[in-house]
Amino acid sequence: MNRTEKQSFVDEMAGKFRDSELLILADYTGMSVGMMNSLRRKLDADDSIEFRVVKNTLCSLAVDGTEMEPLGQHFVGPTAVLLTRGDPVTAAKLLQEFLKSNAKALRIKAGFYGGRPLSAEDIVALSKLPSREELLGQLLGTLQAPMRQFVSVLAGLPQKLLGTLAAYREELEGKSS
């Protein structure tokens, strides 16, 4: 790579880092080409996720002077970067799913989400959260519950009134016979 190519790579990566919701750095020592392709296929199912092997010195330059600067110390040894512009939980879950069967091939170094650096443990915790869609569904259910209960109470009042009137009618019929 000549100097202009390196600068364009740094600029490209700085833009991708800035635009991503979640950034994960991983050490891919021990990964075979087949494993790497398997992981890429799994991640490519989601268009918003990108996984690529990067040059440490150039990526370190890309994070210099940004809020992601603490990640610069992790650009050592074989480094791959997972970037997502979509749901960060989905990306973390897909990576954790791969790690269950390939724990020795890939090791999470660090990450960055929500304006703060993440440790490997934080990324594991993130992967255990429900996805955005699940959280929205839970929120909707929680918001609908009081309305549903109110409607069932309102529907129960006429039924109780009819039951009381029917019992009163039977009592009157019983007295008249």
CA separation for the pair 23, 91 (Å, rounded): 10
Architecture of domain 3-129: 2-Layer Sandwich (3.30)
pLDDT tens digit sequence for 125-137? 888 888 778 888 8
Residue 87 has what pLDDT? 85
pLDDT tens digit sequence for 9-55? 999 999 999 888 999 999 998 888 888 888 888 888 878 899 999 99
User: Is the dihedral angle over the CA atoms 89, 92, 95, 96 positive or is it negative?
Assistant: negative
Kindly report the pTM of this predicted structure.
0.73
Domain segments of the chain: what residues?
3-129, 134-177
